[in-house]
């Protein structure tokens, strides 16, 4: 199938934009790989330290067996990462069976935005991505690994691990998922209880019961937020084994897929004839494929921040215009909560990523020739795994949707575009996700109410101050101000106002999340207000026009350009809950348009 003209054009634009940085990156990883397996160059003392605790230390010291490094985000507080507890044992057994060895190289922190929503700890969330990259870098710095397995799922964990994998791009990388928890209380029912709690219709006991029935077991949360968008991304970018993203934890197929990932990691090292360094997988085609997947599934807006940072680590430079242009040509093929009633288990059962990738390849919307850890092109990812006699076999995946209320072909998609729009105007540059927003709310023009904190919005709501159409402006929420926390805890409040018949929208230099839904939200506005960006000049009563149809965001006040911007007090987020430790991050972070990163 001929590549779609827009996909071709955007890829060429990225390739041209990245010529200098990508060439330097490729030269760097070639230099790192040229001496062969680095372990052979360690002194005897270095090696003895590295192998001292290994039961098969003789294999490491005297043979050329591949040694696989495990970088794990395991902890048993987060449901998505708890299944990783026993993965090292599974991996070591599988490595031994494959004629290799494996060691846990190191751990990386994994925080949960679901726990920290609306709390001071959320101001560390985005920066945790860079910490994860740094921690993974420390783990791999021992220079004793021929390939690496990355165990991570959620919001900042996978992007941080990708940054590390790209930085150590001469080392083959296989990402190993843990899978979503089985379906619990439907997400729309949980959301309804949240709104009822916001209005005082139900008490905390009912809210807690609903939340516990929704988040109820090991595995990823089942709505299509950032965590599950990450898992989709790893398949579209060829870093998972095909069809492995949404297999539930603690099942025979899940364990068999983990063992198969180990076998693959052992086979693609420089010691064999199928060497596949991570840096060769992570080229411009992989990132374009990832963006296409994001649009086709209606994925998390957080990836609009993460993908540029991830790509930059591999010498690939992305811009918001790339997301916008690809969104305009990629149809929305899935309806998964919050963009529908189904969860990811229902999506997977309906045909899932295999069906979607097959459809997009046939329509010329993916680079089918992109390199993948499966060994061939992306067409292998139209297959699905089956368990036979304890071993994984891949068979042809679904060629028709098994539920067209959840998943549809390209020719009969839910919408002709992916639902992501770039916004440009005198308020700066940002994005809006409209895949779950009703068409009659793609344009909102209303007076502004300006806040500097999300708690101020909730307090105003409780006081009954929102009685007319309103654009809620929440500024000083950018990466330099306070780490760019998600403002997802505002979703129930804004949804209640919208359900009351008001036309409302959110405009912010902060983030929402993959769980943002039916309320129009112009997010990631850059330059941020803390740097004197345009949001710092907005005043209560200014008429704001958010036009997602034409991609504009404007303040209509006549004197807007000449106003003195409001000043930001950095002390508001300077200490408490570890924020003291991140002063250097806030001082040196890049703007949101470049990924809001420190390490790349």
Binding site as annotated, residues for [4Fe-4S] cluster? 154, 221
Asked, as a colleague might, if the bond just before 474 is cis with ω within 30 of 0, I would say no
CA-CA distances (angstroms) from residue 254 to 69, 97, 225, 257, 446?
20, 18, 21, 5, 50
CA-CA distances (angstroms) from residue 353 to 18, 359, 360, 402, 511?
29, 10, 10, 13, 26
CA end-to-end distance (rounded Å), the chain: 36
Please, are residues 459 and 356 in contact by the beta-carbon 8 Å criterion? Answer: no
| Phi/psi at 377 (5° precision) | -90, -170
CA-CA distances (angstroms) from residue 412 to 265, 333, 409, 419?
38, 8, 5, 16
Give 17: exposed, middle or buried? Use CB within 10 Å, 0-12, 13-18, 19+.
middle
Binding site as annotated, residues: 154, 221
Please, are residues 105 and 148 in contact by the beta-carbon 8 Å criterion? Answer: yes
Side-chain-side CA neighbours of 460 within 13 Å: the count stands at 19
Q: Can you give the C-alpha Rg of the chain in angstroms?
A: 24
Rounded-to-integer distance, Cα 101 and Cα 222, Å:
34
Per DSSP, the chain holds a count of helices (H) and strands (E) of: 22, 14
Rounded-to-integer distance, Cα 165 and Cα 487, Å:
30
Question: Which DSSP letter does residue 237 get?
Answer: T
């Amino acid at each position: 199938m001929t590549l779609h003209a827009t996909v071709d054009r955007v890829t060429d634009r990225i390739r041209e934009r990245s010529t200098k940085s990508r060439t330097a990156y490729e030269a760097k990883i070639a230099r790192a790989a040229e001496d062969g397996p680095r372990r052979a160059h360690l002194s005897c003392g270095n090696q003895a330290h590295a192998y001292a605790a290994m039961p098969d230390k003789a294999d490491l010291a005297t043979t050329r067996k591949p040694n696989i490094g495990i970088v794990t985000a395991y902890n048993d507080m987060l449901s998505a990462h708890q299944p990783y507890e026993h993965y090292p044992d599974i991996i070591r057994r599988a490595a031994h069976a494959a004629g290799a060895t494996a060691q846990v190289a190191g751990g990386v922190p994994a925080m949960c935005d679901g726990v920290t929503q609306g709390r001071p700890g959320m101001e560390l969330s985005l920066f945790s991505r860079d910490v994860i990259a740094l921690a993974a870098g420390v783990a791999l710095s021992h220079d004793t690994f021929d390939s690496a397995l990355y165990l991570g799922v959620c919001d900042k964990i996978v992007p941080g691990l990708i940054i590390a994998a790209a930085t150590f791009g001469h080392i083959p990388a296989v990402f190993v998922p843990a899978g979503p928890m089985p379906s619990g209380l439907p997400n729309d029912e949980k959301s309804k209880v949240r709104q009822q709690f916001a209005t005082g219709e139900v008490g905390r006991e009912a809210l807690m019961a609903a939340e516990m029935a929704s988040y109820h077991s090991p595995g990823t949360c089942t709505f299509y937020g950032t965590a599950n968008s990450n898992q989709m991304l790893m398949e579209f970018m060829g870093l998972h084994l095909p069809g492995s993203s949404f297999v539930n934890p603690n099942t025979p197929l899940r364990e068999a897929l983990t063992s198969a990932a180990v076998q693959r990691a052992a086979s693609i090292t420089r010691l064999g004839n199928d060497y596949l360094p991570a840096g060769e997988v992570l080229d411009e085609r992989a990132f374009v494929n990832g963006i296409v997947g994001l649009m086709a599934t209606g994925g998390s807006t957080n990836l609009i921040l993460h993908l540029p940072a991830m790509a930059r680590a591999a010498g690939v430079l992305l811009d918001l215009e790339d997301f916008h242009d690809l969104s305009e040509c990629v149809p929305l093929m899935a309806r998964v909560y919050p963009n529908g009633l189904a969860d990811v288990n229902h999506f997977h059962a309906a045909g899932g990523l295999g069906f979607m990738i097959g459809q997009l390849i046939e329509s010329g919307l993916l680079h089918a020739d992109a390199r993948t850890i499966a060994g061939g092109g992306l067409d292998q990812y139209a297959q699905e795994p089956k368990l036979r006699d304890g071993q994984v076999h891949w068979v042809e995946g679904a060629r028709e949707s098994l539920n067209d209320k959840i998943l549809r072909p390209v020719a009969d998609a839910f919408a002709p575009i992916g639902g992501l729009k770039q916004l440009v105007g005198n308020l700066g540059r940002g994005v809006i996700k409209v895949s779950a927003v009703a068409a009659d709310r793609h344009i909102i023009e209303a007076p502004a109410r300006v806040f500097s904190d999300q708690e101020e919005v909730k307090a105003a709501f409780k006081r009954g101050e929102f009685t007319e159409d309103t654009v809620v402006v929440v500024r000083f929420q950018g990466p330099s101000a306070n780490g760019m926390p998600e403002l997802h805890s505002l979703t129930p409040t804004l949804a209640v106002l919208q359900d009351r018949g008001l036309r409302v929208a959110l405009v912010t230099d902060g983030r929402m999340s993959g769980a943002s839904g039916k309320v129009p939200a112009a997010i990631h506005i850059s330059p941020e207000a803390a740097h004197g960006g345009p949001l710092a000049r907005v005043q209560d009563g200014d008429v704001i026009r958010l036009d997602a149809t034409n991609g504009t965001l404007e303040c209509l006040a006549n004197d807007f350009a000449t106003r003195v911007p409001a000043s930001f007090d950095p002390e508001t987020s300077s200490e408490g809950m570890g924020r003291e430790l991140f002063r250097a991050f806030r001082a040196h972070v890049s703007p949101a348009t470049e990924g809001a990163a420190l390490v790349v």
